[in-house]
Amino acid sequence: MRRERLLPYSYNVGNTGSMSDTLKIEQRSQGVVHHDYRRGPGDLLLETIKRMVRNPETRHNLFATYAAMADAIPPHARPNLDLEKTIRFQDRSVPLTLASPIMLAAGGNKHANHLAAYAGMGFGAVSVGSATREAREGNPFRPRMRMFPADRSMSNSMGLNNPGIEAIATEVDKALGKCHRRKMVLGISVADTPGIEEPDAKIAEVLATFRRAYRAADYIELNVSCPNTGENRMDTQEAFLAELLHEIMEARKGLAPKKAVLVKLSPDLSARALDANLQIISDAGVTGLVLFNTFPSDKARYLRMSTPESEIMPVTGSEGKGGLSGRILYKNTLPAVQYIRRQLPKLAIFACGGVDHGSKVLDLLDAGADAVQCYTVIAYRWNAVRKMNRELLEAMRARGIQSLDGYAPTA
């Protein structure tokens, strides 16, 4: 793996980061364009809904129901835009054919509800979960989500609530055929169960969840970077991460067909820790990366948000656990994708963090991403994914790009 002297990050506040690193990186990320969007009548309706349903977690829980309703209403039932893309993997995992390169990030549908309806919203994939082996209630305190409109961002401290891998995989099994007919694929995000400390037991737990997820889904994400429980940051335990990924990739050798396995990292790793993680991932023969998870809330000061720090922390009862998402992450996402693409030219990359405009999708594809993921934009933009699909198509037309299939960025 080739090393670079300059650091990729807007913030470099992880294990060994320093403020001087941060400054160097900010200089580098000046090329990031935010592609702002105009707010329309739909966004006003969304604001009204937010005033009526004040609890963000309740709104989040209604999202799948909304997806099912919206899908049933013509003329929007099938957005007919030519954004099809087939993702081919260097390790010869089964290719993924998506009607759009925009995927719903993990956490957006934790219960595997109404999965096929997300095709009608414009998604080309849904990363379901994260799933743990058994069902979990998540963190016991409330609220677990807070909105920061000035930054079009939010913090969450859900704590991996989910119905468990068996329930999730069963729903994915049922929905997969219909999703494929609509050119939407389904991944399952696998997380370890908080509370299991003994390393062998932890690996056995993740392997069991992984095996069940693998049977059901088109691709697997390994969530080794959840900041919400205080126990799921395996990307900061390098020796353990290496062992875990080795075991998972060994297990995959005995499973057919070969499906893509991607590791999801945290955006707060220092340059050294990031390089160490990339080396581990490369050595393990993992198919790709999801860049990134939420940014740990207790480091919010490094993001230079418009929302005062006193309002960001603490989320009630969260003891500093939790993650920030949304627009404030984008200034990191783009340069990080560029950097990692140069380091590991053959790995698949799903870019995630602050994607809220179709032109950002094209910029990320240009930077070397194979697809993008988003979630927080849905809380700020009405009909967000259909709009982003249209913006993406306009951005492609403006540059004479006929189709995403076979599009080879020159950047």
Ligand X SMILES: Cc1cc2nc3c(=O)[nH]c(=O)nc-3n(C[C@H](O)[C@H](O)[C@H](O)COP(=O)(O)O)c2cc1C
User: Where does this chain bind ligand X (CB under 6 A)?
Assistant: 60, 105-107, 110, 129-130, 145, 154, 156, 158, 160, 189, 223, 226, 264, 293-294, 325-326, 329, 352-355, 374-377
Compute the least distance from the CB of residue 257 to ligand X, in Å: 24
Which residue lies nearest ligand X, judged by its C-beta? 107
**Which is nearer to ligand X, 229 or 270 (by Cβ)?**
229
**Which is nearer to ligand X, 179 or 355 (by Cβ)?**
355
**Which is nearer to ligand X, 287 or 293 (by Cβ)?**
293
Compute the least distance from the CB of residue 11 to ligand X, in Å: 15
- What token pair was written down for 43? 């966004």
CA distances (Å), origin 192, targets 16, 73, 178, 197, 244: 25, 38, 29, 10, 11
**Which is nearer to ligand X, 145 or 260 (by Cβ)?**
145
**Which is nearer to ligand X, 165 or 345 (by Cβ)?**
165
Instruction: State the SS3 of the chain.
Output: CCCCCCCCCCCCCCCCCCHHHHHHHHHHHHHCCCCCCCCCHHHHHHHHHHHHCCCHHHHHHHHHHHHHHHHHCCCCCCCCCCCCEEECCCCCCCCEEECCCEEECCCCCCCCCCCCHHHHCCCCEEEEEEECCCCECCCCCCCCEEEEHHHCEEEECCCCCECCHHHHHHHHHHHHHHHHHCCCEEEEEEECCCCCCCHHHHHHHHHHHHHHHHHHCCEEEEECEECCCCCEEHHHCHHHHHHHHHHHHHHHHCCCCCCEEEEEECCCCCHHHHHHHHHHHHHHCCCEEEECCCEEHHHHHHHCCCCCHHHHCCCCCCCCCCEEEEHHHHHHHHHHHHHHHHHCCCCEEEEECCCCCHHHHHHHHHHCCCEEEECHHHHCCCCHHHHHHHHHHHHHHHCCCCCCCCCCCCC
**Which is nearer to ligand X, 24 or 57 (by Cβ)?**
57
Strand partners, 102: 372
Compute the least distance from the CB of residue 287 to ligand X, in Å: 16
**Which is nearer to ligand X, 145 or 168 (by Cβ)?**
145
Compute the least distance from the CB of residue 138 to ligand X, in Å: 9
Compute the least distance from the CB of residue 72 to ligand X, in Å: 25
Strand partners, 128: 188
Compute the least distance from the CB of residue 316 to ligand X, in Å: 16
**Which is nearer to ligand X, 145 or 284 (by Cβ)?**
145
- What token pair was written down for 202? 């932890």
Compute the least distance from the CB of residue 22 to ligand X, in Å: 20
**Which is nearer to ligand X, 24 or 143 (by Cβ)?**
143
**Which is nearer to ligand X, 377 or 404 (by Cβ)?**
377
Written as one letter, the residue type at 270 is: S
Compute the least distance from the CB of residue 281 to ligand X, in Å: 16
CA distances (Å), origin 221, targets 67, 132, 184, 332, 342: 23, 12, 16, 21, 22
Compute the least distance from the CB of residue 354 to ligand X, in Å: 5
Compute the least distance from the CB of residue 411 to ligand X, in Å: 22
